[in-house]
Structure 1
Amino acid sequence: MLQTEALNVRYGKVRAVEDVSVQVRRGQIVTVIGPNGAGKTTLLSALMGLLPSQGGITLSGKHHAHPDVQDMVEAGMNLVPEKRELFVEMSVEDNLVLGAFHRRRRGHRDHAQDLEEVYTLFPRLRERRQQLTGTLSGGERQMVAIGRALMGRPALLMLDEPSLGLAPLIVKEIFRIVETLRERGVSILLVEQNARAALRVADYAYVLEMGRVTVEGPAQDVAADPRVMHIYLGKSGAGKGSDGATPAVLAP
């Protein structure tokens, strides 16, 4: 679904993302974890075409040398940004319908069906569909942001810190929905500081530190890596996973 080769992003002379290669297979949840300032949001912004980058980005078999937001959306990619970027003075339903804009522009008139699917996934939004988005709770706004992205029928959905600022029960619900989306065939690239929750739902994981991938592997192996356990999960590791096998650490 998505593959990058040695992706680099600079802010002036500062290299924020350096030689990053990630891959997302169809129907997978792939997570990128790491500390603040590691380059996680920068990575997503570059993939979406919001920031200039160098290196290869291939989406659904098509190479994009210089990604452009409109082109990436047309190709099946969508991003739910960390700040959600909703229109707070518009209703929930109007925000959702805006997510189908590029499909309507191409002549598709099936947004009512997509809207019904979003309401099935998020019953709370159906109840609040005529409510101003600015009056919603943080968790409800996150549901609107994800629902709006789904209205574009993305093949690859990128989520930037979906649990940020949410209560534990809402976080649990958001991650349950993420798993449901995978079951529906949506590929997901998930950036998260909540490493424990992210590794629990993901199929594959990357650890990004100072703009570089330092650890990668199947999510359960990354979760069992002693360094990841100590720094990101608050546990002490003894050098081996719970099954006695040495975890997959593919980068120094």
Structure 2
Amino acid sequence: MTTPKILLEVSDLHAHYGKVEALHGASIRIAEGQIVTVIGPNGAGKSTLLNAIMGSLPATGTASGSVVYLGHNLNGMEIEERVAFGLSLVPERRELFASMSVEVNLELGAYKRKKNGEKNYMDQLEMVYALFPKLMQRRKQAAGTMSGGERQMLAVGRALMAKPQVLMLDEPSLGLAPLITKEIFRIISELRKTGVATLLIEQNARAALQVADYAYVLEMGALAMEGPAAELASNPQIIESYLGFAKKEAA
């Protein structure tokens, strides 16, 4: 059996906001076609981890450590360069162009590819519409008039237009109804078939562990535990802290 190629390797990553250290030496790896999740409580540093990898920390933030993607050290690279290399981030706020149509938002996702002179820069559109049939139906609709779930689908679809090899999702289920959350996670699972690797930051630990291959637990800025997602899902400590089974039984 062939060992999957490591796409992204993060080593000893630290992040500071002023004098406050928000991330303490995190190290994670993501292989081709793999879904890796990072779970943990609010304020654990999960979003900081993604932003440090993407080079999108706010002005007050600084990062140190090693971020290597396909053998290239990304330290010092601008966000646009990281996108061109094959990393895409869907932030928690989604950051869509509300007054523009679904189709225009998707086209803007491929902007860097167009700027780089790729003739087939819209070649991911058919795949995006196959993953998200609602986007096809509403392609002329303004993004700001769509439901929360549809906007999340559009945000993921727009990121996929950049043809990433690693897609990073920050809390994709935040604020969504349970049925829509289930659909979003089904689509994340479907992404495996496209060959895209996914790094998933998620507070809904149960859903994240069900869909992921490998998982990390981040607590107070440090990695507390890691392992195959199925193993962590049956770990009594994880069940008690994040899945709530023990609390339900007690109730």
- Pairs within 5 Å for 1:14-163: 14-51=20-57, 52-163=62-173
Question: Are the aligned partners of 1:47 and 1:67 in contact in 2 as well (CA < 8 Å)?
Answer: no
Residue from 204, 209, 217 that aligns with 2:214 = 204
Gaps of at least 5 residues in structure 1 are 238-252
Q: Secondary structure at the match of 2:218?
A: strand
Tell me the equivalent position of 2:4. Answer: none
Of all paired residues, the percent bearing the same amino acid is 56
Question: Are the aligned partners of 2:122 and 2:161 in contact in 1 as well (CA < 8 Å)?
Answer: no
- Which whole-Å CA distance do the structure 2 matches of 1:43 and 1:112 have between them? 30
Tell me the equivalent position of 1:184. Answer: 194
Tell me the equivalent position of 1:230. Answer: 240
- Pairs within 5 Å for 1:162-181: 162-181=172-191
TM-score by length of 2: 0.92
Q: Secondary structure at the match of 1:95?
A: helix
Q: Secondary structure at the match of 1:44?
A: helix
Give the superposition deviation at 1:102: 0.5
Question: Are the aligned partners of 2:172 and 2:202 in contact in 1 as well (CA < 8 Å)?
Answer: yes
Give the superposition deviation at 1:236: 3.2
- Which whole-Å CA distance do the structure 1 matches of 2:237 and 2:72 have between them? 36
- Which whole-Å CA distance do the structure 2 matches of 1:112 and 1:8 have between them? 37
Deviations 1:168-202 (A, max 9, x none): 11111111111111121100000000000000010
Q: Secondary structure at the match of 1:19?
A: strand
Give the superposition deviation at 1:221: 1.0
Amino acid at match of 1:8: H
Give the superposition deviation at 1:67: 3.7
Amino acid at match of 1:40: K
- Which whole-Å CA distance do the structure 1 matches of 2:45 and 2:76 have between them? 19
- Pairs within 5 Å for 1:207-222: 207-222=217-232
How many equivalent residue pairs?
A: 237
Shift in CA distance, 207/67, structure 1 to aligned 2, threshold 3 Å: farther
- Which whole-Å CA distance do the structure 2 matches of 1:111 and 1:151 have between them? 8
- Which whole-Å CA distance do the structure 2 matches of 1:78 and 1:97 have between them? 15
Question: Are the aligned partners of 1:53 and 1:66 in contact in 2 as well (CA < 8 Å)?
Answer: no
Give the superposition deviation at 1:111: 3.5
Question: Are the aligned partners of 1:48 and 1:67 in contact in 2 as well (CA < 8 Å)?
Answer: no
Deviations 1:15-40 (A, max 9, x none): 00000001111110000000110000
Deviations 1:23-75 (A, max 9, x none): 11111000000011000001100100012310000011111222420121111
Gaps of at least 5 residues in structure 2 are 1-6
Tell me the equivalent position of 2:3. Answer: none
